Structure 1
């Protein structure tokens, strides 16, 4: 009961590299467990700073039941200006708690976990909405850590893709991601123009740090295109209103001025929302052919718990977790 382990980012990266398909399956299972009501996933809490309006640290507490039986919290900082220093935008830790006693049993470096569960969610959404692991052209908008992870998860899922195109305002970032995609065995090119990059793409992935919509034309996407709205704030309300909208959780996604939240504010209703990815997984919703399909995952704490618990157990089993003896000062009420 009183064991406590720490799992660092280098270990987690190795474990993730070896288990991406399993992580996608874990995310699928966690979504369905959440949809079945066997979870507690409160709203995220945002810590903001008056002199750093673009920065925030977010607390994501959650509990996931079913086959998991774990509680915990992810504490993740998002500092977009970090990229100017060539360091990742996000840093995070994940604390896992035993459901029976409430005692924490592990602390994990969580930026790797967060990126992995985000990428797994994106790839799962693409698979379900596009109808299979095949695309003629995939456009990646934003060439950071999340986009790199999405490309790696697509490759791990053996997607058949004729070509990738990468767009980023920073040409050097686009070049780095294009090179990485080539290392994964795909043909890739970079494109300075977003419009040319997204044109004729089967799947368009937004993984930027944009604070507000910049893709605003109502006809920005064609019927049948799959749009992964991973960064949540690139698309204007008119774009969202004209599409089939699949979210990971309706109430969570309609907060914090996400693109769907802005659409709700403009339209005054939620009629434009078609449902959740779990409903697509269950066959309750069919991907549209007459409209663009937009998947907007807010990012649920239950996903961090599911993936974190899996990786923690792998680390312990392989002797890669660092034990912290006597972490708890008292383990009995009375001696």
Structure 2
């Protein structure tokens, strides 16, 4: 028995950064979910994953102390449809990594035969995760962005901001101007370099001093900031700043006036069952514990301020079960939570490309199992 090892350079050769293809794969994955042909963790089969979070005051020497993004996480899933694959993404995360020149999170993924459990591939997964996260906003933009959108705002020009914009531009090639609000010169410079390389249709990049400046007159608003631990600390958008017909895409947290969410926009999520699962795992109020805007939706549902039918699943729109944009003036807030089935879908696609192109290193597990 043997399996394929794919380093990050191998993954790049095998097409992990092909955003246009990734958007197509994420759309197909969302339709597969909508049919129910998948299993994620937990008794509800919709868990985001299982994480180790450390205590604030460890009682033992050597045990890590709780801090921002200080965790380990396992994200297992099975995805049916054309994928027929099981697997798990596993990562450790520590915001202090940046001081060492490392990514905040370091990710690996294992793909397994769905029947025998045998390993098929062990791969570097930082780019898998970055591109699949960005691609799901691209699917949303494909169906929900206003026609001929010209201006996109990015609030938070980190890795998720870059890949989300890349996907949105793939879905909306009419976008020519990007307004960006960031906090540091380094991230803004990296964002500009990425956009010039990966989004050649964008002709103008405008750095903004405030969120309001970025939001006003933007057709598409991408929020990918790192939020605090309290809702009051989340980046704020006043509904009066938002252009009629704007599409607000959020693979992160943000703060809005309640009247805006309950009466002035439409609420769409990438997979409603994911937010139901989060509401079970992190009982009301969930939003500060999860930090994804869809959990604010379920908190509002718990409070009786909206109804279940007010939260629309993007796959129902793709499949034609529910109308998407009903008016050019519709303001739509789209929540992107991130799911292990996304990693399976894009990881499987890149793995199959690697097999076809002879990319990667075969590693032996055994000739004969010692204790079969």
The normalised TM-score by structure 2 is 0.81
Aligned pair partner of 1:303 in 323, 328, 342: 342
Give the Cα separation in 2 of the matches to 1:36 and 1:319: 33
Give the Cα separation in 1 of the matches to 2:14 and 2:255: 34
Tell me which residue corresponds to 1:284: 321
Aligned pair partner of 1:165 in 175, 179, 188: 179
**Residues 85 and 194 (structure 1 numbering): CA distance in 2 closer, same or farther, change over 3 Å?**
farther
How many angstroms does 1:251 deviate by? 3.0
Tell me which residue corresponds to 1:202: 219
How many angstroms does 1:246 deviate by? 0.9
Q: Which sits farther off after the overlay, 274-283 or 16-25?
A: 16-25
Tell me which residue corresponds to 1:63: 78
Tell me which residue corresponds to 2:53: 48
**Residues 175 and 277 (structure 1 numbering): CA distance in 2 closer, same or farther, change over 3 Å?**
same
**Residues 15 and 167 (structure 1 numbering): CA distance in 2 closer, same or farther, change over 3 Å?**
farther
Q: Is the contact between residue 16 and residue 131 of structure 2 (CA under 8 Å) also seen in structure 1?
A: no
Give the Cα separation in 1 of the matches to 2:164 and 2:13: 16
Give the Cα separation in 2 of the matches to 1:12 and 1:143: 24
Q: Which sits farther off after the overlay, 10-19 or 32-41?
A: 10-19
In the alignment, does 2:151 pair up with 1:100? no
How many angstroms does 1:19 deviate by? 3.2
Tell me which residue corresponds to 2:284: none
Tell me which residue corresponds to 2:249: 228
Give the Cα separation in 2 of the matches to 1:220 and 1:328: 61
Tell me which residue corresponds to 2:9: 10
**Residues 321 and 276 (structure 1 numbering): CA distance in 2 closer, same or farther, change over 3 Å?**
same
Secondary structure of the structure 2 residue equivalent to 1:138: strand
Secondary structure of the structure 2 residue equivalent to 1:135: coil
Q: Is the contact between residue 246 and residue 275 of structure 1 (CA under 8 Å) also seen in structure 2?
A: yes
How many residue pairs get matched?
Answer: 330
The normalised TM-score by structure 1 is 0.89
Q: Is the contact between residue 96 and residue 106 of structure 1 (CA under 8 Å) also seen in structure 2?
A: yes
Tell me which residue corresponds to 1:122: 137
Alignment RMSD (CA, Å) = 2.4
How many angstroms does 1:131 deviate by? 5.0
**Larger strand share, 1 or 2:** 1
In the alignment, does 2:269 pair up with 1:247? yes
Give the Cα separation in 2 of the matches to 1:10 and 1:57: 24
Secondary structure of the structure 2 residue equivalent to 1:28: helix
Tell me which residue corresponds to 2:358: 319
**Residues 113 and 320 (structure 1 numbering): CA distance in 2 closer, same or farther, change over 3 Å?**
same
Which blocks of at least 5 consecutive residues in structure 1 are unaligned?
Answer: none
**Residues 328 and 298 (structure 1 numbering): CA distance in 2 closer, same or farther, change over 3 Å?**
farther
Which blocks of at least 5 consecutive residues in structure 2 are unaligned?
Answer: 42-46, 56-64, 279-289
Aligned pair partner of 1:259 in 293, 298, 310: 293
